[in-house]
Amino acid sequence: MSRDTNSPFRTKTVEQSIRDTEEPEHALRKSLSAWDLTVFGVGVIIGTGIFVLTGIAARNNAGPATALAFVAAGIVCALAALCYAEFASTVPVAGSAYTFSYASIGELPAWIIGWDLVLEFALGTAV
């Protein structure tokens, strides 16, 4: 990939990402406990109750296809979990999809993906 410092598609090596996280000013502190994360997850799940309306509409209009949709969604969720496991094993630093995309496809796509993640979490908690 491009090593030009002015290119929006410049990448960062995995080694550089690891070195950056070892610097004290970039270190992440553990500030949430397992209880905090569990409550946050339950809150997001409960907050998505608005999607119950979609389920009611599916029941009234789709019938048995609703069960197949849940199976398809389960398969997609499992594949997404495998993707995140691949991210974590390839780039073993905090940052999720942002850090992986920065290392593989460049800074501009990583920036877009980072803001997509912010939008995802904001919508998930707002609902």
For the whole prediction, is pTM greater than 0.75?
no
pLDDT less than 70: residues of the chain: 1-5, 14, 17-18, 20-28, 47-51, 53, 94-95, 127
- How many domains is the chain partitioned into structurally? 1
Identify the pLDDT of residue 1.
Answer: 46
Q: Is residue 38 part of a domain?
A: yes
pLDDT score for 2: 46
- Residue ranges making up the domain that contains 89: 33-126
Residue 3's pLDDT is what? 55
Report if residue 21 sits inside a domain: no
pLDDT at 76: 93
**What whole-number distance in Å separates Cα of residue 22 and Cα of residue 24?**
6
Q: Is 96 exposed, middle or buried (0-12, 13-18, 19+ CB in 10 A)?
A: middle
In angstroms, the CA 122 to CA 16 distance is 30
User: What is the predicted pLDDT for the residue at 112?
Assistant: 92
Q: Tell me what pLDDT residue 69 has.
A: 81
For 9, other C-beta atoms within 10 Å of its C-beta total 13
Residue 12 domain flag: no
The one-letter code for the residue type at 75 is: I
